[in-house]
A and B are shown apart, each in its own frame.
Chain A
């Protein structure tokens, strides 16, 4: 039995190794100085999808990503690892979206791609850390969801068993497909690129990319149609325009604060009981513990 799986992925600025110029003076992320990478937990989600593909031959894994034209890189990267293709949702009208507008746009694309068995996505993206888009998509599409998945334990008769990562342990839950699962960073790491798939798909392009490179794409896509990365604009999704992008985003960033540690006093403590008692009292009175 082959499954039809969609993986929601996002290209994000690499916020893991930020320098001093990572934020602009207006409090927004300075994307120019941060390299664009595959959101790490989306890679965990991709790996879960590819493992299902390994187990159930005939399974297809397609990526859905919303972003600027260069986000096609995410789809190519997925194809190098075993995904079958993908859809890039790109339009100026989508820009400035918060999680509500993003999930609205993605949900339209997902509905257009129905029927499917599973939607997988990372728990959250490292640029916003909201963990909202996955659950909102499930809600808008009207399917059940399991969040914080660490492992998809089994799939039998349309029933999926999932191990969920909790703060102090885990739980095993079951749900019926179609289903959306958000995958936690503690899940299996994504496999590397495969050499043959990388050579096969390295020329995969969206039509806009081919046009920008002034390539004669009709010939290429006719002889090797698998190199075509689909691109959908707002027009392809029949949206309610007011719900897209900035206009569909009620979230407003009022202000961003830099937390700078200023405390200069230091206290030296020994391992003796009275010092440890003192430390604990301090921590409790500052609401750091307790």
Chain B
């Protein structure tokens, strides 16, 4: 039987990363649940074995239910019937299978019916579903919203919603409005408190809401009358069972057509405040979005994998000039580059997931007891890393998904342009990844702090100082040269003391840092498994040329040049 977990060795490789020891220990809190729950693990090995067995179920359902339906879901799409969003048949079947297999609420605590999985296997499940159908990955991945209740909600909200999410109910993040997209501080949907009824009520419109007719809705709303910026916004929970929201329309999209994108009208919809007032965007949505960005990272890597495999299969089969086209350098170079870039960005994805895991676990532990001084330092360290790496992951994975899908379609030639092969769907589905949950340009804004504060450089130097097999040292030498170039470019830009000039080069600098980081991650992968050696070699060749180009571009650029670009 086909299985999208077992047929991809690199997934198991990431589940077995050395840092998993620490992650599992923190997440399982010394295996205290083993007494109370018959499915809780007894020790570290048992936990990893459980992760594997469950991700294998995800691989089975993805390969044998989700993937076979992907084409019909893309064609059929969801529809509105009696103010209710009805998913395409394949989406319904897939969701039902995931619910029956109890794969929803993967990361939530067992006391609510969850599996208490760490972020790494949960993100892996996302990657696997996306390889089968990126649209399904959205509906599956939105369960991550529940983490926000776990982190900031009170006991009432936890009891009310977390058990339902674990039972398979779906979530939505209701953030965007017609006039508030990238600039969420401009959100206008109004929340008013009725003191008599002791209840909040929502009025207004939300647009572009993925899975907008979800059971559990996280709504960003203006609770403070007379305000016009982020400080007047709060996070409110709306329960679909109250039936006070109209699904006005479904968007007709280029891709991920199986994932319903809704326009919602709230009419006196009752809602509950999550956390404190005024912290909606500043704190809770930032947390929610960071989770969602990692989720899009998983979706993008799944798309990279799918696009690479389609290209490989086609190029091995397609004969021209009396031989399979994969034997031509123009084709095999493309395909090998797809492969190594997928591996590199996957390593970045799981590295980020590991950082997220550690700091989130510390947050949960801190609710139960005071952290020691060392623990606090460590928690802060990993929290900072997660903040720096999340936008990098979102940026690179989504851009790679697009370019790998583009190259894969190219390998298919004219056939790729037809509806006959899955690559045209993958190509369309990939397009949104660099747009939603913050465009690539906004990821640069989030990531540039790590460039200017030196945080990314410090982490690059930490990778550089890891002990590795001497046979890999030549790769480290190359990366050290690129690190030197990068540090020089950063200083060059900073020396100009001009914010617009910094913004102008921000993406270049962020990408230079990200390239070096992915290079090191592949070297460290090769240090654990010789099979990654060739990939590291090829990838570092690619980024060497890329980073040199960026260095030269920055060197040749003056502040006054910006005028030439202004229109």
Contact = CB atoms under 8 A, between A and B. Distances in A.
Interface of A: 191-200, 202, 224, 226
Contacts of A196: 39, 102, 115
Given A195-B57, A195-B103, A198-B50, 8 more contacts: A191-B97, A192-B61, A192-B101, A195-B101, A199-B39, A199-B41, A199-B50, A202-B49
B253 interface: no
A194 B102 contact: yes
Contact of A199 (B54, B60, B61): B54
A175 to B, nearest CB: 29
A205 to B, nearest CB: 14
Contacts of A199: 39-41, 50, 53-54, 115
Contact of A195 (B40, B49, B115): B115
Contacts of B102: 194-196
A199 B34 CA distance: 11
A200 B57 CA distance: 14
B512 to A, nearest CB: 41
Given A199-B39, A200-B39, A224-B38, A194 B101 contact: yes
B541 interface: no
B49 A198 contact: no
B100 interface: yes
A202 B46 CA distance: 10
Contact of B53 (A198, A224, A226): A198
Given A193-B60, A224-B38, A198 B54 contact: yes
B54 A192 contact: no
Given A199-B39, A199-B54, A224-B38, A193 B49 contact: no
Given A199-B50, A202-B50, A192 B39 contact: no
Interface string B86-124: 000000000001001111000000000001000000000
B175 to A, nearest CB: 30
B41 A193 contact: no
Nearest 10 interchain pairs by C-beta: A199-B39, A196-B39, A200-B39, A195-B54, A200-B38, A199-B50, A195-B102, A193-B57, A198-B53, A196-B102
A203 B415 CA distance: 49
Contacts of B40: 199
B4 to A, nearest CB: 13
Contacts of B39: 195-197, 199-200
A194 B60 contact: no
A76 B41 CA distance: 18
Interface string B325-338: 00000000000000
30 contacts: A191-B97, A191-B100, A191-B101, A192-B57, A192-B61, A192-B101, A193-B53, A193-B57, A193-B101, A194-B57, A194-B100, A194-B101, A194-B102, A195-B54, A195-B57, A195-B101, A195-B103, A195-B115, A196-B115, A198-B53, A198-B57, A199-B41, A199-B50, A199-B53, A199-B54, A199-B115, A202-B49, A202-B50, A202-B53, A226-B38
A200 B54 CA distance: 11
A197 B102 CA distance: 9
Interface string B40-78: 110000000110011001001100000000000000000
Contacts of B60: 192-193
Contacts of A191: 97, 100-101
A29 B225 CA distance: 79
A196 B117 CA distance: 12
Contacts of A200: 38-39
Contacts of A226: 38
A191 B102 CA distance: 12
Contacts of B54: 195, 198-199
B360 to A, nearest CB: 21
Contacts of A224: 38
A202 B38 CA distance: 11
B361 to A, nearest CB: 20
Nearest to B58: A195
Interface string B17-52: 000000000000000000000111100000001100
A34 to B, nearest CB: 15
Contacts of B50: 198-199, 202
A191 B103 CA distance: 14
Contacts of B61: 192
A195 B53 CA distance: 8
A82 to B, nearest CB: 10
A193 to B, nearest CB: 5
A199 B97 CA distance: 18
A198 B54 CA distance: 8
B356 to A, nearest CB: 22
Given A199-B50, A199-B53, A199-B54, A192 B97 contact: yes
A198 B41 CA distance: 12
B125 to A, nearest CB: 10
A195 B97 CA distance: 11
Nearest to A14: B1
A35 to B, nearest CB: 10
A109 to B, nearest CB: 27
Q: Which of B50, B57, B101, B103 has the most CB of A within 10 A?
A: B101
A194 B38 CA distance: 14
A226 B60 CA distance: 26
A180 B100 CA distance: 28
Contacts of A197: 39
A159 to B, nearest CB: 29
B94 to A, nearest CB: 11
Contacts of B41: 199
